[in-house]
Amino acid sequence: MLTHIIHYSFHLLAPFVFGKVLFKNHWWNASLIMIATMAIDLDHLLVSPLFDLNRCSIGLHPLHTIWAAALYGIMLIIPSWKWRAVAIGCLWHLCTDLIDCLI
């Protein structure tokens, strides 16, 4: 239960911290964009069974692969705060999911 609280806090609260620290002029919109990157979890619909508490999503789902992470990293160089917010949100999403794999 505690791991679920931590997991979803990282997904839903940490983006506001990142927004305040990294996007001072656009922190609210950047935070919402980073939360919206949870949409990458739609790739879970491509796997059967749809949900498995004991499964690590890193490397299994298409948007949770090293290739996707590399693309998110490349997106950081796009000179737009909106695209950087998307990239940071996706990378943070992967980090949060990786933590679940390790505990």
Residue ranges covered by each domain of the chain: 2-102
pLDDT in tens, 62-74: 999 999 999 999 9
pTM: 0.90
Report helix, strand or coil for 33: helix
Judged against a pLDDT cut of 90, whether residue 101 lies above it is answered with no
pLDDT in tens, 23-59: 999 999 999 999 999 999 999 888 888 777 778 889 9
Judged against a pLDDT cut of 90, whether residue 4 lies above it is answered with no
Q: What are phi and psi of 15, to 5 degrees?
A: -60, -30
Judged against a pLDDT cut of 90, whether residue 21 lies above it is answered with yes
pLDDT of residue 83: 98
pLDDT of residue 63: 95
